[in-house]
Amino acid sequence: MTQEVEHVQGIAQSLTVGDGISSGNAAWSFGGDTAKHFEQHVSRSVPYYKEGHELVLSLSDFFIKHNSVAYELGCSTGALTRRLARKHPPTVRWIGLDVEDNMIAQAKHYVKEEKDLAVDYIVSDILAHEYEKSDFMISYYTIQFIPPHIRQEIFNLIYETLHWGGGFVLFEKVRAPDARFQDISNSLYIDYKLENGYSPDEIISKSKSLKGVLEPFSTAGNLELMKRAGFKDITTIFKHVCFEGFLCIK
C-alpha cells in the first residue's frame, strides 16, 4: 500500500458524524459499529422519530388481526417491531428484515430478555426475501437508501405481498418540489441538527458520508412509485419540512 493510498484512507476514516459514529466520504454504512449507536443517532437526527413510531403503533390497530403476519422492511435494531409486538396479541407474527447482520444481531440482543415477543429478526435483502401474505407492512426511513433503479420493484413486491385491504406505512426523507424550497428545507434541517447538539463539522461530515448513499425522492416521486405498483388509496399521515409519512391501503 502506498503512502498516498494510506493518506486517502486515513482521511476517509476521519469523518466523525456524531454519537460515536465515524464514516468516510460517500461511504455511509449501517454496518460495522453503527448498530451500537444507531438508536441514539437516529433519534437526534430525524425530527419526530419517536412520535412517528407512536403514529405507526396507532395505525396498526386498523390492520392487524388475530393471526396477522406483519413486516418491517429495514428494521435496523428493531425498536419499532418490538413495540408493535408488545402492543398486539402473541398470535400476530412480526418479522423484521435488514440486510446488515450487525443490525439484526443488535435487534436480537435487545429482544432476548423478552422471550414471549412474537418477533423474528432476519438478515435478508428485502427484494430477495420470500414473503408470506401480510396485513401490514412498514418501511420507516429505509427505501431512501435503496438504489433508485430498483425502488419500483420493491413497491411492486410490497403491493403483491399485502392482502386486499392491507396497509403499508412509508416514512421517507423527501426532496422539495423546487430549488428555492429545497434551500429553505436544507437550512431548517441544519438548524435542527445544531439545536440538537451536533457540531458544524459533524453535520458537514454526515452530509459528505451520505453522498450517493441517501437518495430521497420528492413527494410526487414517491407517489408515482406507489401508484405504479397498484396503490390507489394513499394519504399523507405525517409531514415535517423534508420528512413525510404515507399510508397506502391495497
DSSP string, 137-192: EEEES-GGGS-GGGHHHHHHHHHHHEEEEEEEEEEEE-B-SSHHHHHHHHHHHHHH
What per-residue confidence (pLDDT) applies to 34?
80
What are the residue ranges spanned by the domains of the chain? 1-250
DSSP helix/strand/coil, 116 = coil
Cα 214 from Cα 211, distance rounded (Å):
7
What per-residue confidence (pLDDT) applies to 15?
84
What per-residue confidence (pLDDT) applies to 14?
61
Distances (CA, A) of 35 to 66, 78, 80, 109: 32, 11, 15, 11
Grid cell listed for 92:
400476530
What per-residue confidence (pLDDT) applies to 9?
43
Query: How many other C-beta atoms lie within 10 A of the C-beta of residue 219?
Result: 16
Q: Give the global pTM.
A: 0.91
How confident is the prediction along the chain (250 residues), in pLDDT tens digits per residue? 443 333 334 444 568 887 787 878 977 777 777 878 888 889 999 999 999 999 999 999 999 999 999 999 999 999 999 999 999 999 999 999 999 999 999 999 988 878 788 899 999 999 999 999 999 999 999 999 999 999 999 999 999 999 999 999 999 999 999 999 999 999 999 999 999 999 999 999 999 999 999 999 999 999 999 999 999 999 999 999 999 999 999 9
DSSP assignment letter at 31: S
Q: How far is CA 218 from the centre of its chain?
A: 16
Task: Give me the CATH code for the 1-250 domain, please.
Answer: 3.40.50.150
